[in-house]
Amino acid sequence: MDIVVNEELKAYIEPLTPEEHDALERSILAEGCRDALVLWGDVLVDGHNRYGICQKHGLPFQTVQNPRFKSMEDVHLWMIDQHLGRRSLSDYQRGVLALRKREIVAERRARRAAVESGAVAAPEAPAAPEVVAAPEAAPAPLPPQDSLETREALARAARLSSSQVVLIEKIQKQGAPELVAAVKAGVVSINAAAAVATLPAEEQAAAAAAGAEELKQAAKRVRESRRKAPAPSPAPAADETPGRTDEPVAEASVTALQQRIAALEAENAALREELAALRAAQTSSLSS
């Protein structure tokens, strides 16, 4: 049987570092390929690194089919769950995977609701694929525990705190590609990256290019500017500005307050996370 490597699936999860790949290769050369490659029809789902190493050295390997896969979404969800259970992932990587899972689950629920309401017709479920381009199937029912609608549920799925999820969401939404790459590489902490992500994209990129120390300093400047930010001025009474209504001023004041509250919430989340890290380090020091 010819195994098909789908490049989209291969790139769906963060690749191994060169050091991790070398360690896996040494292990397979010494002990053989112990874990079976997971297939969907002839498409390789799990084991891309093992498959490549076995092909390179002409080593034997085993394969197994997963009969529960009905669509590419099923494959993605399975891959996410498999990797969320691995200890080698960083906190940021687990958070990104959990957010990705929430998005898939939300889209699936929305489609199911549309089908149940009669807005769209239910798609037919095809058989397992024999080629890479497999048609999409009707999604399988989602168990209640798969609901990731709250940050608390999302945090549990990723083994993170709710405050960490908030920070990772901010980085994902506002972070420049250079900043995201720095977080993935471990150059900057999640807390610092979330602060830097509030800066314009050009400033984020410049800080990331300058290295870890500049990223720390940029995060420090952001936090200090939040602490020094003046409170919004109260809106003047309507009779103090003849011929004008106070509605635009009031709206500006509310917007300023909302922005200030959001900044304080993010700062509090970062401080809580730093405190938790310090406590964990202290506990580890005492136990050792």
pLDDT at 255: 67
> DSSP secondary-structure letter at 123?
P
139 within 8 A of 108, measured Cβ to Cβ: yes
pLDDT at 245: 45
Residues of the chain with confidence (pLDDT) below 70: 1, 87, 119-149, 229-256, 258-259, 262-263, 276-288
**CA R_g for the chain:** 24
pLDDT at 159: 85
Q: Cα separation of 102 and 77, whole Å? A: 10
pLDDT at 264: 74
pLDDT at 58: 95
Q: Cα separation of 26 and 20, whole Å? A: 10
CB under 8 A, 24+ apart: contacts of 176-183: 176/201, 176/204, 176/205, 176/208, 177/205, 178/204, 178/205, 178/208, 178/209, 179/204, 179/205, 179/207, 179/208, 179/215, 181/208, 182/208, 182/212, 182/215, 183/92
Q: What is the DSSP string of 141-190?
A: PPPGGG---SHHHHHHHHT--HHHHHHHHHHHHH--HHHHHHHHTTSS-H
What does the block give as tokens for 72?
């590419």
Tell the burial category of 178 from Cβ atoms under 10 Å away from its Cβ (0-12, 13-18, 19+).
middle
Residue-range domain boundaries for the chain: 1-66, 69-157, 232-237+245-287
What pLDDT digit, counting tens, does each position of 134-170 carry?
Answer: 334 444 444 444 456 677 888 888 888 889 989 999 9
pLDDT at 287: 56
What pLDDT digit, counting tens, does each position of 31-52 carry?
Answer: 999 999 999 999 999 999 999 9
pLDDT at 267: 72
Claim: this prediction has a pTM higher than 0.75:
no
What pLDDT digit, counting tens, does each position of 113-138 carry?
Answer: 888 887 666 555 544 454 343 334 44
pLDDT at 83: 87
CATH number of 1-66: 3.90.1530
